[in-house]
Structure 1
Amino acid sequence: MKGRTLNITKTFTFDSAHHLNNYSGKCKNIHGHTYKLEVTVKGPVAENGLVIDFHDLNDIVEKNVLSYVDHKYLNDLFEFNPTCENLGLWIWDELLPEIAKEGCCLEKIVLWETPTSYITINREDTL
């Protein structure tokens, strides 16, 4: 199995509040979401049979994303309008160098704002 390349995915949740600027709908008011974040990493299967240890991936996401946004008011944290799209791009930029340090590629993230609404960022979208 060693030498083959695989994708692995880990799912996370976090709770945050925000309001949307320059928006005329009901989301212009402060409200919250339980976000679901799927992080997909691509890399070679190592001698030990792993692409990356799920525990290590968990630690990277916790340290670089979740500890910053969980149970926070996003408008106080960011200078950008905290839409799902902008939040996803920020998450991508935070995780990209950390995943690379592990010898893997950040392949995709999916950020669910509600059970029926999400954004997807694929590696080829960012090249």
Structure 2
Amino acid sequence: MLLRKEFIFDAAHNLVEYHGKCERLHGHTYRLAVVLKGSPDREGMIADFCEVSSLVKERVISRLDHAYLNDILPQPTAEYIARWVWEQVAEPLRRPNCRLWEVEVWETATSCAVLTAEDMDHA
């Protein structure tokens, strides 16, 4: 079973290794989805939505919202942001009954990068 929690944050970046309009400073309203995979515990939950929300807000949103992402990542593409988010939350979200399964980072309403546990298991 999957449990999904979504977040929104605004941030600016420029892609220094990319040649095109995105190499110039610009911003996005990002949508972030954190997905856990597991089985409901004795309380009937994979994880408490409130705990997931608090942890992601503390470890990710508080650092990325209204930030210049190049101060955090040298090439802040959606792909690298997804990996950075994974590194911040995978272990703190691990429980005996579940683990982080997927991180999605949406730059626009139609464009996102998805990082899965399978990607990280083979990294």
In structure 2, what is the Cα distance between the partners aligned to 1:60 and 1:22? 32
Q: Does 1:65 align with 2:99?
A: no
Q: How many residues align?
A: 120
In structure 1, what is the Cα distance between the partners aligned to 2:115 and 2:19? 26
Question: Paired residue for 1:91?
Answer: 85
Q: Does 1:118 align with 2:92?
A: no
TM-align CA RMSD: 1.0
In structure 2, what is the Cα distance between the partners aligned to 1:76 and 1:40? 26
Q: Deviations over 1:15-35 (max 9, x none)?
A: 000000122101111000000
Residue identity in the other structure for 1:31:
H
In structure 1, what is the Cα distance between the partners aligned to 2:28 and 2:9? 8
Give the CA deviation at 1:76: 1.8
In structure 1, what is the Cα distance between the partners aligned to 2:34 and 2:23? 28
TM-score, reference length from structure 1: 0.90
Residue identity in the other structure for 1:10:
K
Q: Which secondary structure does the structure 2 equivalent of 1:62 belong to?
A: helix
Q: Which runs of 4+ in 1 moved over 3 A?
A: none
Question: Paired residue for 1:17?
Answer: 12
* Correspondence list, 1:99-110, <5 A: 99-100=93-94, 102-103=95-96, 104-110=98-104
- Gapped regions of structure 1 (runs ≥ 5): 1-5
CA contact (8 A) 2:79 2:115 kept: no
In structure 2, what is the Cα distance between the partners aligned to 1:76 and 1:85? 16
